[in-house]
Amino acid sequence: LAKTTQPISMDSYEGQEVNITCSHNNIATNDYITWYQQFPSQGPRFIIQGYKTKVTNEVASLFIPADRKSSTLSLPRVSLSDTAVYYCLVGSDLTGANNLFFGTGTRLTVIP
Amino acid sequence: DGGITQSPKYLFRKEGQNVTLSCEQNLNHDAMYWYRQDPGQGLRLIYYSQIVNDFQKGDIAEGYSVSREKKESFPLTVTSAQKNPTAFYLCASSPGRTKPQHFGDGTRLSIL
């Protein structure tokens, strides 16, 4: 069961780069890694997804080492509107429903 | 616009009463999910459906029931057997298990 572990909270100043790491020691061969962002009283929103190495889109980068036992979400030059909870999710088409484990996430606070 | 619609936004339940939360999607996604979120906590999977007329229990299915008679609809019933139903309920859908999930805006359920 590829459950995940993330820091509970992080603080960052505006304009800084933020890196949030997720540990998933039991990740399976077919599992993908997906990150979501959630604001209060809203549903999570997809940020980025990857399987190995590095993935980059217009809002973030995802770094995955060769052993895939962890992943790092990188947010460049954060702003106050990036204050939210960030979740790392690991799962695949081949594993059961119980592999959809969001965990408690990382609460990022961006400070002016 | 394609998306997921959850209704109602707020719902109140009396003791011993069953209530049904609606979730409709027009994204043509095969998979649909129900999560429960308690204050300050992450998302916990209640039920998951990969295809019409099929669904699987998640981590906390006791006291809940679902149906998937149509691809677009995945209603969740909170039964009187669920002793602590007060929570924020989120519905999601995805094209498949490895694909990112799209979430609704949630239903907040409270006990009168």
Q: What residue in B sits closest to A85 (Cα-Cα)?
A: B42
Instruction: Tell me which residues of chain A have a pLDDT lower than 50.
Output: 1, 98
Per-residue confidence band for B13, with pLDDT thresholds at 50, 70 and 90: confident
The distance from CA A4 to its chain's CA centroid, rounded to whole angstroms, is 10
Find which of A100, A104, A107 to mutate to test the B interface (most B CBs within 10 Å of its CB): A100
Separation of alpha carbons B24 and A57, rounded Å: 29
Residue ranges of B 24-43 with Cβ closer than 8 A to chain A = 33, 35, 41-43
Mean pLDDT, chain B, rounded, equals 92
Shortest alpha-carbon distance between residue A48 and chain B (Å): 8
Handedness of CA B85, B22, B53, A97 (dihedral sign): negative
A44–B90 C-beta distance less than 8 A: yes
Handedness of CA B100, B110, B71, A30 (dihedral sign): positive
Share of chain B above pLDDT 70, in %: 98
A105–B45 C-beta distance less than 8 A: no
A93–B97 C-beta distance less than 8 A: yes
pLDDT of residue A99: 56
Share of chain B above pLDDT 90, in %: 74
A28-57, pLDDT tens digit by residue? 888 889 999 999 999 999 999 999 999 999
B42–A93 C-beta distance less than 8 A: no
Shortest alpha-carbon distance between residue A73 and chain B (Å): 16
- Name the E strands within A8-91: 9-13, 18-23, 32-38, 45-50, 53-56, 61-64, 70-75, 84-91
How many other CB atoms are found less than 10 A from the CB of residue B83? 9
B31-76, pLDDT tens digit by residue? 999 999 998 888 999 999 989 999 999 889 999 999 999 999 999 9
Residue ranges of A 10-69 with Cβ closer than 8 A to chain B = 32, 34, 36, 41-46, 49
pLDDT of residue A96: 54
